[in-house]
Amino acid sequence: MNYTAEDEVLIESHWQDLQRSCEKICRSDEDWNFIKRAYFLAKEAHQGVRRRSGEPYFLHPIAVAKIVVDEIGLGVKSVVAALLHDVVEDTEYTVEDMEHIFGKKIATMVDGLTKMSGVFNADTSRQAEYFRKVLLTLSDDVRVILIKIADRLHNMRTLGAMPQNKQIKITGETLYLFAPLAYRLGLYAIKTEFEDLCMKYRFPKEYEEITRQINETSAAREEYIRKFNAPIIEALDRNGIKYEISGRIKSVYSIWNKMIRKQIPFSEIYDLFAIRIVFQPLEFPSEKTQCWQIYSSITDIYTPKPDRLRDWISMPKANGYEALHSTVMGPDGIWVEVQIRTQRMEDIAERGFAAHWKYKHATISHDEDEFDKWLKMIRTALDSPTESAVDFLDNFKLSLYTSEITVFTPKGEARKLPYGATAIDFAYEIHNKIGNTAIGAKINHKIMPMTTVLNSGDQVEIITAESAKPKTEWLDQALTAKAKKAIKSFIKREQEHNYQRGMQMLEEQLAKLNITPNNRVIRKLITAYESNNKEELYTKIGAGIVSLDNLEKVVKTNSQNKILKFWKLFIKDDDDEGDDANDDKNDKSSVEGANLVVAECCHPLPGDSVVGFKDPLTHQIIVHKATCDELNRLASQHGECIVKDAIQWSQFKTQSSLVTIEIVGIDRMGVLVDLANVVTNDFSINMRQVNIQSHDGIFEGKLSLYVRDIESLNALQERLRRIKGMDSVKRVIN
């Protein structure tokens, strides 16, 4: 079926628009002919095919090519690859055809952009396997990733035509991988749009409400910006600087994220905007010196906040970002962030990798900069063909840090680590052998545990011992993909050794007792030694965690009482709602009419907005909060298992769930009594645990309570906020 005359007019209009965009990259007739050949082949290949919205499918590759050239700043080959990116996947053309017609480089790029097809391992996620192939192209040509980001951006811009379960899958993938990846490649504007579009489709009411409030306050905000900028403009003009000054508001997603994280209303978001100064530097002095001179002029006018100075000129971010950020006290007691950068820095901030590479080649610099180091690190991390696709994706995600610190070796060598990294991460950053034998760290010449979180500027020396080895709990403390991968690898080797040793030890001990190690005996030992399976049992024995001193007694003891005790954990007594045994039970609520369980990662309450995930192995539907980070990870890897419409809170038995509330306020006599009265007398809520500390006239603490639904929790929090001296009351979100 061919396109209609109206379709042809629409396609021609978009094609003309793309050609206007390509005028800045085409240097010869050869370039134009290259793009036109790709256009006509792709148009013929996609003839008559339509998108779910009903529009001609070929508009999609044209739109992707336009994003590639206009918003990312790539060249002719990237436009050609973008026009052809779905041809091999969706039509009869092959990668070999692409190589024959367009050459090996284009064929390689198109192949990297072609989605996975064929047979997948039963234990492997389709999405993860697809991402693996795309991400591996970083080893060859990073432009493939940039075109893939453009492809995802256009899909996100047209997501409204997709059904809701597909929207959840695609937004989950985008938040989990594509937004951090765009940030890491320096595409800040695209990263921001990804996040805003995800919110628009996942949380439309909240998106519309925040957008409305931003628009309602725009006039007052613009007036304040003019008032703030006036003396700065005067100072810059006086110094003869060529510049542009603008005010930029935070994205809807970042405002909403801060409201969720801090549990505050829109009216309490004070840092809604930032002022940006982009200037044309003189040949002398250096760009860095000129940035600091402008900073000095601004701080002569407004007082800076010392702990909010960010110098990304002396030490740029790994994605190439350079700027000087400072927060100053503006008129009317409002803190305002000021960003200072040159036009070169602005181009890199807006265009990311493409602009970074353009300036790098223009200066003919052969130094290995931060971006090159990051790419080298990623290529090393990707070189792991034996790793499962899901682990691969998780490890890659860990490499997309959104915030960084700089720490120093004993000899003063700078190393970049993600914000929140520990001495464990630093040790493995130096060398895996250092990490595997580490026992402690000297941080700023003071001995500290390996789990200590590092701060920017710390000088770190790792203390080692030949007999030392990584601890399993380090996996929870380590932050970098490199550290986690090395620890897992060591533990796996150790477990394999312990497994063989444990199996041999058990067989020897059973032989001494003349007992045959059959399935009945092994099952009894698994239960007695609190293991999940025989592999765990053997490993515990081999590691010395389980002692076989009482083996004869265990084998010959009737295990009926333990079995009864085990099942009793899942039977609710009428009078045990406040008991400790009720703690985990509430998170594993049995559900009438459906095999649903409440997710332990986010503990949703009745009334929370929720999404279900059908476990491929157990077929249980695990209910997550719609805002859960783990849900985004699952959606990105197992999008086909997302369930939305079938989840109703009415399916759950009405029983209480354990939540934790964090409180802070001004200390006074009787505040604890007031808290207890509100919780127990006003709301008749069972308290499981109270932990409150007072220092310097301030009290802070946590209340663990059993509540039935989100309405009860909200009402309780609102009442607690009215207690005299209370400053903040918020639910602890895991």
Q: Do 304 and 287 fall into the same domain?
A: yes
Please state the rounded mean pLDDT for residues 367-395.
57
In degrees rounded to 5, what are phi and psi of residue 227?
-65, -40
pLDDT tens-place string over residues 16-50: 999 999 998 899 999 999 999 999 999 999 998 98
pLDDT at 300: 94
Vertex 463: Cα angle to 458 and 464 (nearest 5): 145
Instruction: Output the domain CATH number for residue 713.
Output: 3.30.70.260
708 falls within a domain? yes
Q: Do 322 and 223 fall into the same domain?
A: yes
E strand or H helix that includes residue 273: strand 273-279
Q: Do 267 and 246 fall into the same domain?
A: yes
Instruction: Output the domain CATH number for residue 469.
Output: 3.10.20.30
Which value, to the nearest 10 degrees, does the dihedral of the CA atoms of residues 151, 155, 158, 163 take? 170
Q: Do 13 and 147 fall into the same domain?
A: yes
Token pair recorded at residue 714: 């909200």
364 falls within a domain? no
pLDDT at 628: 86
User: Which pTM value belongs to this model?
Assistant: 0.69
Q: Do 623 and 682 fall into the same domain?
A: no
How crowded is residue 666: how many other Cβ atoms within 10 Å of its Cβ? 12
Picking from 557, 580, 600, the residue at the C-terminal end of a domain is 557
- Please list the residues that pair with 446 across neighbouring strands: 443
506 confidence band (pLDDT: 50, 70, 90): confident
pLDDT at 271: 73
| Share in percent of the chain as helix, strand, coil (round to 5) | 55, 15, 30
Which value, to the nearest 10 degrees, does the dihedral of the CA atoms of residues 112, 113, 118, 119 take? 60
- Please list the residues that pair with 612 across neighbouring strands: 623, 643
Q: Do 647 and 684 fall into the same domain?
A: no
pLDDT tens-place string over residues 547-602: 887 887 777 664 433 333 333 333 333 334 444 434 443 333 333 444 678 888 88
- Please list the residues that pair with 652 across neighbouring strands: 591
Give me the catalytic one of 17, 55, 70, 90.
90
Q: Do 224 and 339 fall into the same domain?
A: yes
138 falls within a domain? yes
Classify burial at 558, counting beta carbons within 10 Å of its beta carbon; exposed 0-12, middle 13-18, buried 19 or more.
exposed
Interatomic CA distance for residues 640 and 648, integer angstroms: 20
DSSP letter string over 528-570? HTT-SSHHHHHHHHHHTSS--TTHHHHHHS--HHHHHHHHHTT
Q: Do 131 and 16 fall into the same domain?
A: yes
Interatomic CA distance for residues 480 and 399, integer angstroms: 7
Interatomic CA distance for residues 571 and 80, integer angstroms: 64
pLDDT above 80: residue 172: yes
Q: Do 461 and 529 fall into the same domain?
A: no
pLDDT at 392: 60
396 falls within a domain? no
Interatomic CA distance for residues 311 and 457, integer angstroms: 13
368 falls within a domain? no
Token pair recorded at residue 574: 């009428």
pLDDT at 371: 57
pLDDT at 377: 60
Interatomic CA distance for residues 290 and 343, integer angstroms: 12
Q: Do 644 and 724 fall into the same domain?
A: no
pLDDT at 381: 54
pLDDT above 80: residue 234: yes
Please, which contacts does 534-538 make with residues 24 or more away whose CB atoms are closer than 8 Å?
A: 535/499, 537/502, 537/506, 538/498, 538/499, 538/500, 538/502, 538/503, 538/506
Please state the rounded mean pLDDT for residues 205-227.
91
Q: Please give the DSSP secondary-structure letter assigned to residue 571.
A: S
pLDDT at 140: 58
Picking from 509, 540, 557, the residue at the C-terminal end of a domain is 557
Q: How far are the Cα atoms of 225, 248, 336 from residue 233, in angstroms, in the given order?
A: 12, 17, 16
Under a CB-based contact definition with an 8 Å cutoff, are residues 661 and 732 in contact?
Answer: yes
Token pair recorded at residue 359: 């300036």
pLDDT at 574: 38
pLDDT at 1: 64
E strand or H helix that includes residue 598: strand 596-598
Give me the catalytic one of 8, 12, 44, 89.
89
pLDDT at 393: 61
Classify burial at 550, counting beta carbons within 10 Å of its beta carbon; exposed 0-12, middle 13-18, buried 19 or more.
exposed
Please state the rounded mean pLDDT for residues 54-82.
92
pLDDT tens-place string over residues 185-195: 778 889 999 99
- Structural domain harbouring 538: 488-557
First to last CA, the chain: 53
- Catalytic residue check, 90: yes
196 falls within a domain? no
Picking from 502, 536, 557, the residue at the C-terminal end of a domain is 557
Sign of the Cα torsion 299, 300, 301, 304 reads positive
192 falls within a domain? no
112 confidence band (pLDDT: 50, 70, 90): confident
Q: Please give the DSSP secondary-structure letter assigned to residue 381.
A: H
Instruction: Output the domain CATH number for residue 145.
Output: 1.10.3210.10
Classify burial at 573, counting beta carbons within 10 Å of its beta carbon; exposed 0-12, middle 13-18, buried 19 or more.
exposed
Token pair recorded at residue 430: 């130096």
- Report the domain count for the chain: 6
pLDDT above 60: residue 651: no
Which three-class secondary structure string do you get for 673-722? HHHHHHHHHHCCCEEEEEEEEEECCEEEEEEEEEECCHHHHHHHHHHHHC
